[in-house]
Amino acid sequence: MDHPRRRRGRRDDVKLPAEEGARQLAGATDFLLAHETTTSSTVGAIGFCMGGGFVLALAAQQGDKVSAAVPFYGVGQAVPSPTAA
């Protein structure tokens, strides 16, 4: 049975605000920093496409835990519109 929100295996119609994505990633950040093999007090994050906005929001929300955030490609809400200037 095909899920009503899926189209040919893609979830293009599912929206996740950058702030919510970053909030969810904060759990991964806490997990990594608490892991017994982690030797640093910060993490770096890389985001591709929609994830680019997530890593920027993550760095803004968890600045003391994220030492580097690198967005690739589109970053969504984090980039101002050219017409907004």
Return the SS3 of 73.
coil
Owner of token pair 């835990």: 65
Structural tokens at position 65? 């835990």
More confident residue, 15 or 35: 35
Paired tokens of 68: 């580097």
Report pTM. Answer: 0.67
pLDDT one-digit tens code per residue, 19-50: 788 888 899 999 999 999 999 999 999 988 88
pLDDT of 13: 60
